[in-house]
């Protein structure tokens, strides 16, 4: 299993070192191993882990892997009906696995250790299958790329069940460091955890980084102790980057793009504010070590250099397909072996390896840096034009005077256009005039027709922006999205 051998090693070599801290609860490496050995069920099957964020969740996760079972970690904050449906689906999936047969899309000779959960187009999250090798190969690369060691005390402030945070926890144990989680997220709870623990590394998404940095600066709680910030998602906006550097001036900021199904895809490094090299990189960065990137049309046809298309990867970090919920709009592959692409130096693509995509749209520049336009499923079709919200958000937020605003673009139904483009603005002061001026530089189809002042950001449980939630607020007349003129 991906990190169990490392857990056993650190339990012997540094048994007293804290392995997991959640609020006031903590377990050393030795305590975590003993608890995992005595918990769970031995033998094949799926361990459905449905407990609130706590050291108990960490124990059950380790126990499942220790006993060579398939773990499925459910967010305890989800509705009971959804959690029960997931447990039923896991039982049905397990019953369908005939002895000696591998899970759908699985690689020969490998055993699934995880049913990861990812949002889908229906109410029930879809489940992807992960094999041991995908995480183990990824740990070897990511601990080196992010310079992760035994001295790292990592705080991941989102739900422990989120795939990014679950990976960060395993990655910490692989390196022999300490992993810190929160019983419940808030910016103030994060800052309290920073004060109570020698945290020197953060793993989070841009919106959560912005909330924490803003709150820290407002309350005089500096992030000077932070030496590393790993930020997942799309390119950091200039405003978020400035906030992070003001709050945590000694931190190296490394951003990466990936997906739960794909793992790491592209990444870049921004040095601390005081460093000589203090300029943001281009796009989200170059291919992550071991990954090859190619841009294709949805039908697999090539695009011209610099043109936009679906981001495809050839990588050892991808999942093995879906156990259930495959709606055809997310993870898929092309059986193409001669697809041209770009990769980190000194890596050679496997000739027979397929190319995978989650249908995020993007392009490669002449330096082979990846730029993202957004996910195909987020695309707004207005009067026959295709508009990618992420692209509009990025251009508006980079305009003069807009750096401290978070802009969320969504599409809502329109009887004439099909959909209309709208924008929500979350900012400390009125930024509408600056944003309207910036919008005039966009093609007409991309300009928001309506603007809404956001009392709070529409966030998923893992802290990511939810454009569908913004559309729901607007359609329902929710006071958190107030029309402004």
Check which CATH number belongs to the domain holding 37 and give it.
Answer: 3.40.50.12780
Q: Residue 387 falls within a domain, yes or no?
A: yes
Assign residue 202 a region: left if phi > 0, alpha if psi is -120 to 50, beta otherwise?
Answer: beta
Q: Residue 360 falls within a domain, yes or no?
A: no
Assign residue 135 a region: left if phi > 0, alpha if psi is -120 to 50, beta otherwise?
Answer: alpha
pLDDT of residue 52: 95
Q: Are residues 101 and 241 in the same domain?
A: yes
Residue where one domain finishes, among candidates 286, 308, 340? 286
User: Quick one: average pLDDT of 402-413?
Assistant: 88
User: Quick one: average pLDDT of 428-441?
Assistant: 89
Q: Residue 373 falls within a domain, yes or no?
A: no
Domain count within the chain = 2
pLDDT band of residue 27 (cuts 50, 70, 90) is very high
Q: Is the pLDDT of residue 419 over 60?
A: yes
Percent pLDDT > 70 in the chain is 90
Q: Are residues 158 and 28 in the same domain?
A: yes
Q: Is the pLDDT of residue 106 over 50?
A: no
Q: Residue 176 falls within a domain, yes or no?
A: yes
User: Quick one: average pLDDT of 327-346?
Assistant: 63
Copy the structure tokens of residue 338: 């001669």
pLDDT of residue 281: 58
Alpha-carbon gap, residue 440 to 409, rounded angstroms: 16
Residue where one domain finishes, among candidates 238, 268, 286? 286
User: Quick one: average pLDDT of 213-238?
Assistant: 91
> What is the value of pTM for the model shown?
0.83
Q: Are residues 44 and 168 in the same domain?
A: yes
Q: Residue 366 falls within a domain, yes or no?
A: no
Q: Are residues 277 and 418 in the same domain?
A: no
Query: 215, exposed or middle or buried, with CB in 10 Å at 0-12, 13-18, 19+?
Result: middle
DSSP 378: G
**Cα atoms found within 13 Å of the Cα of residue 222, Cβ hemisphere only:** 8
User: Quick one: average pLDDT of 51-68?
Assistant: 96
Q: Which has more confidence, 221 or 283?
A: 221
User: Quick one: average pLDDT of 313-327?
Assistant: 91
pLDDT of residue 107: 46
Q: Residue 367 falls within a domain, yes or no?
A: no
Q: Are residues 282 and 383 in the same domain?
A: no
Q: Residue 363 falls within a domain, yes or no?
A: no
pLDDT of residue 348: 44
Q: Which has more confidence, 110 or 58?
A: 58
Percent pLDDT > 90 in the chain is 59
Whether 4 contacts 68, CB under 8 Å: no
pLDDT tens digits for range 146-172 = 999 999 999 999 899 989 999 999 999
Residue where one domain finishes, among candidates 257, 286, 315? 286
Q: Residue 239 falls within a domain, yes or no?
A: yes
Of 55-69, 251-265, 377-391, the one with minimum mean pLDDT is 377-391
Q: Is the pLDDT of residue 208 over 70?
A: yes
pLDDT tens digits for range 72-83 = 999 988 888 889
Q: Is the pLDDT of residue 375 over 70?
A: yes
What average pLDDT is seen over the chain? 87
pLDDT of residue 449: 93
pLDDT band of residue 460 (cuts 50, 70, 90) is confident
pLDDT band of residue 274 (cuts 50, 70, 90) is low
pLDDT tens digits for range 166-193 = 999 999 999 999 999 999 999 999 999 9
Q: Are residues 266 and 395 in the same domain?
A: no
User: Quick one: average pLDDT of 446-467?
Assistant: 88
CA distances from 175 to 9, 150, 181, 265, 324 (A): 11, 6, 17, 21, 32
Q: Which has more confidence, 237 or 476?
A: 476
Q: Are residues 143 and 262 in the same domain?
A: yes
Structural domain for 163, as ranges? 4-286
């Amino acid at each position: 299993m991906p990190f169990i051998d490392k857990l056993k090693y650190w339990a012997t070599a540094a048994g007293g070192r804290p392995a997991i801290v959640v609020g006031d609860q903590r377990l050393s490496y030795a305590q975590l191993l003993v608890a995992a050995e005595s918990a769970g069920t031995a033998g094949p099957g799926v361990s459905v882990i449905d407990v609130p964020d706590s050291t108990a969740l960490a124990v059950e996760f380790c126990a499942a892997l220790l006993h060579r079972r398939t773990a499925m970690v459910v967010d305890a904050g989800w509705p009971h009906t959804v959690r029960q449906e997931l447990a039923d689906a896991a039982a049905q999936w397990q019953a369908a696995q005939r002895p000696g047969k591998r899970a759908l899309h699985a690689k020969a000779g490998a055993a699934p250790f995880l049913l990861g959960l990812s949002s889908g187009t229906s109410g029930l999250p879809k489940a992807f299958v992960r094999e041991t090798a995908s995480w183990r190969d990824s740990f070897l690369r990511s601990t080196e790329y992010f310079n992760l060691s035994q001295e790292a005390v990592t705080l991941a402030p989102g739900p422990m069940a989120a795939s990014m945070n679950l990976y960060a926890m395993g990655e910490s144990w692989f390196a022999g460091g300490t992993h810190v989680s929160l019983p419940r997220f808030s910016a103030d709870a994060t800052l309290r955890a920073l004060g109570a623990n020698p945290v020197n590394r953060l793993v989070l998404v841009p919106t959560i980084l912005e909330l924490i940095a803003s709150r820290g600066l407002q309350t005089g709680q500096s992030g000077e102790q932070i030496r590393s910030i790993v930020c997942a998602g799309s390119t950091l906006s200039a405003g978020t980057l400035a906030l992070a550097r003001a709050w945590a001036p000694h931190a190296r900021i490394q951003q990466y793009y990936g997906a739960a199904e794909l793992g790491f895809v592209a990444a870049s490094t921004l040095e601390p504010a005081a460093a000589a090299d203090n300029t943001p990189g281009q796009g989200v960065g170059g291919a992550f070590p071991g990954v090859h990137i190619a841009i294709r049309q949805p039908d697999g046809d090539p695009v011209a250099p610099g043109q936009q298309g679906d981001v495809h990867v050839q990588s050892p970090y991808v999942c093995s397909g879906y156990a259930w919920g495959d709606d055809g709009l997310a993870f898929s592959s092309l059986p193409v072996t001669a697809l041209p692409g770009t990769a980190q130096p000194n890596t050679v693509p496997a000739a027979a390896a397929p190319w995978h995509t989650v249908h995020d749209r993007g392009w490669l520049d002449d330096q082979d840096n990846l730029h993202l336009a957004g996910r195909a499923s987020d695309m707004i079709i207005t009067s026959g034009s295709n508009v990618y919200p992420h692209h509009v958000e990025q251009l508006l937020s980079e305009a003069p005077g807009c750096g401290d605003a978070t802009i969320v673009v969504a599409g809502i139904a329109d009887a004439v256009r099909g959909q209309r483009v709208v924008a929500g603005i979350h900012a400390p002061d009125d930024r509408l005039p600056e944003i309207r001026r910036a919008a005039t530089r966009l093609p007409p189809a991309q300009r928001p027709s309506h603007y809404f002042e956001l009392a709070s950001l529409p966030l998923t449980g893992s802290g990511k922006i939810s454009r569908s939630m913004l559309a729901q607020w607007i359609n329902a007349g929710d006071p958190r999205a107030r029309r402004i003129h």
